[in-house]
Each structure stands twice: as structure tokens, then as C-alpha cells.
Amino acid sequence: MHTVITRFPPSPTGYLHVGGARTALFNWFYARHTKGRFVLRIEDTDSVRSTQASADSIFEALEWLGIDWDEGPYFQSKRFHIYAEYVQKLLDTGHAYYCTCSSEKLDAMRQQAMATGGKPKYDGTCREKQLCKSNDAVVRFRAPLTGTTIIHDVVKGDIVFQNAEQDDFIIQRSDGTPTYNFVVVVDDITMGINTVIRGDDHVNNTPRQIMLYQALGAELPVFGHLPMVLGKDKTRLSKRHGAMSVTAYRDMGFLPEAMINYLIRLGWSCGDQEFFTREELIEKFSLEHIGKSAGVFDMDKLLSLNADHIKATPPRSLTPHLLPFLKARGYAAEEGHYLDQVILTLNARSKTLDEMAEAARFYYEETVSYEPAAADKFLISDALGPLTLLVQKMETLSGFTVAGLETVFLSVMEETGLKLGKIAQPVRVALTGKTASPGIFEIMEILGKNQVITRLKQAIRYIA
């Protein structure tokens, strides 16, 4: 059996969006599942729109997703000598010819075809003229005039195209630059690509590419065309649906594992399972389970899945992803036991890393900022006595543990006759500034004796 070789060929004319990332992931996981190879190719023949900044942003997004490549990145702009060689091969074998029809003549040709109900295509004027190379000549592929071209698609099934509907398309412009369909085929042949998984917006390009493979005497790759990703309103995915750059999701606080999990599930399934680790996807991914219907991008589902991955990720593995959000807020956070404990109190209640970093504010701020409504309700004169008693008892507490703190609270409850809630809520606001937080005893153990007593005294002064 041949080694599976897939590829991802983005154009560096902008950022990597979620649709492109999904295509990259399908190719990468299939290569990893089959122990094959994954090739990265930058399709930058559009010199006007292609930029190095866009290429760099694509690399950055792929690296964040953990998509590595076995070969490349290859740049089409550095391969023009190879394309010229293959153009000559087609000319030498009679599968291509020079054409000198002017743009005006081509326009008239199309107008006439449409006027008679035909398809606006090249009519083969120069097909048999045996013209020589000249400054104004393009090179056209000599397409078959009869018969059919069939895509044996592993996702969509067989798709049949009538050759009479195709025309003699250009493979090299008059300035010597090659065209998209031609360079894609040459690249895939010379790079040994034998599995092409891409969006179904490429279906109409495929018959032309198959003709080129056949003319060059090359074996056809396996084709699989993925249904597109739609917004919740079932229209083509756009920015208003969430079609932002992949790195924008990183900056919003999504984990790469969650993004991968979500994008793979947009069009692929494995029973009813929703949550996958990277290792599980490598083990289970196959082309046979790619669906035929379009995936619908749902931000709420992505958020929910991200929350699940945050909760499932060990603190030490989560730390590198969370630290940038903590440092952006000016917190003196660093890897270690303290941050591990902070994460364990917040990971079950955070949908994004940004949300988690905001919730961690009270762990790092020197002086607690009280939410006005929380302070007005709980930092009142009735709380002065219980807070003062707590401080007195904590100052003599030797072991500042959950068990020891529970004993202190029970003692204050007995002396004041108050229930736990009447004591715990003022303490919660004193320590966090808010009425909702992780468990009060967990918080106190993490903050430590000195910090807890300092904050309780601050609250007492506030009330007084």
C-alpha cells in the first residue's frame, strides 16, 4: 500500500480562517492516522495580493493548532521553472497549443455563444493552427471534445462532467505566468500528493485537473471534497457568523485542542462522541465518516466545548495558554503551585481563558476592589462583629488549612449564633470583591494566612 501523502495549500492573501483551518486539520489528521505524510504548500502565484505577512500569519495559526508538516513550506513563486518544463511537455505531446486570440475577440466569442444559448467558452479558433511561441501568445490545454470526466469522490460519490461542456483553458499566460489549475496539478504530481481533501468549492476545478493528470500520464489522487461551513442562518460563513482568523480565537481565550475538536466535528463524526482529544482523533479519523451535508458554525457550541477542554486540561498544561491573559492584566503570575491551585478553583466555571483570567483577579491584586452592590449588601455593620472575631481566631491559627478554617468558622457561628451564610458572604466579598466565587475555604487556603487577614482587616476598616 502506498504511503498516504496529503497537503494543505493556502494562499497568502489574508489570515487563516476557520474554513481553511478545518481543511488543514482533515488533511493533517488523515496523514497522522495512516502514518502518512503532510505537505505544506504556499500558493503565492498571485503576486499582487500575496504577502509575506499573510504567510507568516498562516504559519502562526498552524503552529498554534499544533499542525506540523513533514515537507515544506513550498512556495509556488519559486517553482516557475518547473511549471515551464511541464508546459513544454504538454506542447511537445500535442496536449497544448499556442493561442493568439485577442481579448476583444474572446469577448465577442463569449457574447455570440450566449446569444445563441451556448456556454460562454473558447471556441478553439487556434486549436489546429500550430502557432509558434510569441509575445502575445498564451498556451491553452487541448481538452477532449467528447466523452465524460468522472470524479470518484470519497465524500460525494461519483460526479460526472460532460467534456463538451469544458473548453480549452489557458495553462500559461502571455507573460509566462502559469494558471491555478495547471500549477496545482504539477505541484501535486511532483510532490507525490496522492490524497486531495479540500472544500467543495473546488469541485468545478477538478475535471480540468483530472484532464491534466491524464495528459501528463500521471496517476490520479484520491479526491475528497468537503461540504462548506455555514453560519447558523444556513448562509455561507462570514465574519458576522464568527469567520474570523484562527488566531483571533486564540486571543479570545480558546484552547487549540477545543478549536481542533470543534472544527473536526464540523463534517466528521464517530458515533455520538462529541469530546475528542488530539490523540483520539489521530486514532479514529477516517475519510469514510466525513458527512455529505454542510457543517453549521455555532459559537455557543464552541464555547461549551472550550469549557469542557479547559476543565479536562491539567493545570500545568493549561498554564502556558493562560499566562498571557494574566500578564496582559498586569498580574505577577508565574508557573508553579500557586497558579495550579488557582486554576483548580476556576477551571470548572470558565468558558474561555480570558474569562478565567478575569475571574482570577482577586488572587493577584494587592487591594481588593469591591463591587458596589456586593459591598452595599454584605459589608455592613452587622458583619463587623463576625469579621473581627474571625481575624482574632485566625491570627492564633497554626495550620491554615481547610479543616482548620472550618473549625474557626464553626467557633464564630457558635459565639454569634449566626448561620454560615451570614458569615461566609461578607468574607467572600472581603476576599474577592464579589458575591460569587469558588469555595470560600479553598480561596482562603490558596491566598494564605497573611493575605486573608489583611483583606479581612481592609473590609473591617471599610465598614467602620
Other CB atoms within 10 A of residue 122 CB: 20
**Distance, C-alpha 231 to centroid of its chain:** 16
In whole angstroms, what is the distance from residue 56 CA to residue 62 CA? 10
Burial class (CB in 10 A: 0-12, 13-18, 19+), 107: exposed
Instruction: Please return the burial class of 341, using the count of CB atoms within 10 Å of its CB with bins 0-12, 13-18 and 19+.
Output: middle
Is 139:170 a contact under the CB 8 Å cutoff?
yes
Beta-carbon count within 10 A of 180 CB: 16
Residue 245 Cα to chain centre, angstroms: 8
3-state secondary structure of 191: coil
Residue at grid coordinates 499573510:
54
Q: Are strands 148-153 and 157-162 parallel, antiparallel or unpaired?
A: antiparallel
On the CB side of 438, how many CA atoms lie within 13 Å of its CA? 23
Nearest Cα residue to 109 out of 126, 94, 129: 126
Residues in the chain: 464
Q: How far apart are alpha carbons 122 and 33 in whole angstroms?
A: 44
239 is catalytic: yes
Pure H helices in 216-298: 246-252, 256-265, 278-284
CB atoms under 10 Å from CB of 424, counted, come to: 18
Q: Which residue type is seen at 254?
A: F
User: For cell 463538451, what's the residue?
Assistant: 164
Helix axes 52-65, 18-33, angle to 10 degrees: 50
Active site residue: 239, 311, 327, 377, which one?
Answer: 239
C-alpha cell, 65:
493548532
What strands, in cross-sheet order, belong to the sheet with 195-199?
Answer: 157-162, 148-153, 222-226, 195-199
Q: Tell me how far apart the alpha carbons of residues 329 and 115 are, in angstroms, rounded to a whole number.
A: 65
* Residue 325 · residue 356 · CB < 8 Å: yes
Active-site residues: which are they?
Answer: 239
